[in-house]
């Protein structure tokens, strides 16, 4: 058993039995371990690791605190991977399976979601807004797979994106006018192309008298808007609580008198409910995985078919035209730079 494992075990016992604070319990545990034998690491290092393990996310915490890191993932014990502006990195850490399991349960504690053999994968939002995805055996071959997608906490506006060369001045002016004119936009791109960041910047252009309702699989949007109702889906539970799907959230949103509707990511049958909702006179935004703006619009000719209803192209074409004014395509180049590559007006020609 490692020094840190013994110290954590003693610290938790002291906290539970003696109402000790984390810091004092950690110091007492280190002293006790030192009296039993030599310490493999310095007391200062062990104290810092113990406090992070007991109050934060242990050895992941420095990577979570680093604003330059975009994503963190774990494939197996004793190593982590992360991605920043310089690319992909792999780091060896003293991170056992027990510690990984404990970290996952700690991250899920406030989400109301669970992971076990019956529910072997989960998506959840962390308290800082980051998105957590976990898959465990028997879905994975041998180890727990963990991904943490971090999101910026700072307020992002279109001006900020122009300063970062994500959009040009003419694109900023066009998108600002589109938002103020209550236009609906489909934001497309590959994974990590900046779709959510652009959507956040667009929504931060809303006037204070607008009522925003958003529907997401997991909470990702980070906004400062007084009149905003944010909703997320819920998987079915083994206790019998039913699933709350994105389709159901869209239906509920229409009863909330929104002046702007947001759907975090359209992947399936909810596309039909979205199209119907946006044809009711409510402008909106949604994201979609696609390889171009035109491909994103044309994808809306097929996704609603997953609703399993008698839907025809003759119905879908005018419905799409009535739902969206523009498709915006976000791209990420090989160097990692994100930018808006295309803004396309949604017309009958695009759907032909």
Would you state the pLDDT for residue 75?
97
b/e per residue, 198-234, with b = 16+ CB within 10 A?
Answer: bbbbbbbbbeeebbbbbbbbbbbbbbebeebebbbbb
Would you state the pLDDT for residue 1?
44
Nearest-CA neighbor of 186 among 352, 350, 333, 338? 350
Which mean pLDDT values do the consecutive 10-residue runs of the chain (352 residues) have? 70 68 74 73 74 74 89 96 91 89 87 87 87 94 94 79 96 97 96 92 95 92 91 83 90 94 90 92 95 96 85 91 97 90 96 88
Question: Rounded CA gap, 329 and 327, in Å?
Answer: 7
CA-based angle 77:133:111, to the nearest 5? 110
CB 292 within 8 A of CB 269: no
Nearest-CA neighbor of 105 among 118, 81, 122, 93? 122
Would you state the pLDDT for residue 152?
64
Would you state the pLDDT for residue 153?
60
Would you state the pLDDT for residue 306?
87
- Residues with Cβ within 8 Å of 147's Cβ and at least 6 positions away in sequence, in order, are 71, 72, 73, 132, 133, 134
| Run of H or E residues at 338 | strand 338-345
**How many CA atoms within 13 Å lie on the side-chain side of 257?**
3
Distance, first Cα to last Cα, the chain: 66
């Amino acid at each position: 058993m490692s020094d840190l494992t013994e110290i954590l075990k003693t610290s938790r016992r002291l906290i539970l039995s003696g109402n000790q604070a984390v810091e004092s319990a950690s110091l007492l545990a280190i002293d006790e371990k030192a009296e039993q034998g030599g310490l493999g690491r310095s007391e200062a290092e062990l104290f810092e690791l113990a406090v992070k393990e007991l109050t934060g996310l242990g050895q992941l915490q420095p990577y979570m605190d680093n604003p330059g890191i975009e994503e963190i993932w774990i494939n197996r014990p004793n190593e982590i991977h992360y991605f920043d502006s310089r690319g992909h990195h792999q780091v060896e850490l003293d991170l056992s399976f027990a510690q990984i399991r404990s970290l996952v349960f700690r991250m899920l504690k406030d989400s109301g979601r669970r992971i076990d053999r019956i529910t072997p994968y989960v998506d959840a939002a962390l308290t800082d807004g980051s998105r957590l995805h976990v898959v465990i055996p028997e879905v994975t071959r041998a180890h727990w797979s963990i991904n943490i997608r971090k999101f910026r906490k700072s307020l992002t506006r279109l001006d900020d994106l122009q300063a970062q060369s994500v959009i040009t001045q003419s694109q900023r002016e066009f998108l600002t006018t589109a938002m103020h004119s209550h236009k609906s936009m489909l934001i497309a791109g590959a994974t990590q192309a900046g779709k959510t960041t652009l959507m956040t910047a667009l929504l931060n252009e809303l006037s204070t008298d607008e009522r925003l309702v958003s529907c997401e699989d997991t909470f990702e949007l980070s906004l400062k808007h007084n009149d905003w109702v944010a909703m997320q889906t819920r998987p079915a539970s083994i206790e019998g609580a039913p699933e709350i799907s994105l389709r159901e959230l869209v239906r509920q949103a229409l009863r909330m008198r929104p002046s702007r509707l947001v759907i975090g990511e359209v992947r399936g049958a909810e596309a039909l409910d979205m199209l119907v909702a946006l044809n009711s006179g409510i402008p909106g935004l949604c994201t979609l995985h696609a390889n171009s703006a035109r491909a994103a619009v044309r994808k809306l000719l097929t996704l609603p078919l997953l609703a399993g209803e008698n839907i025809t192209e003759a119905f879908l074409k005018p419905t799409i035209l009535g739902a969206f004014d523009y498709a915006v395509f976000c791209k990420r180049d090989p160097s990692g730079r994100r930018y808006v590559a295309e803004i396309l007006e949604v017309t009958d020609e695009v759907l032909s």
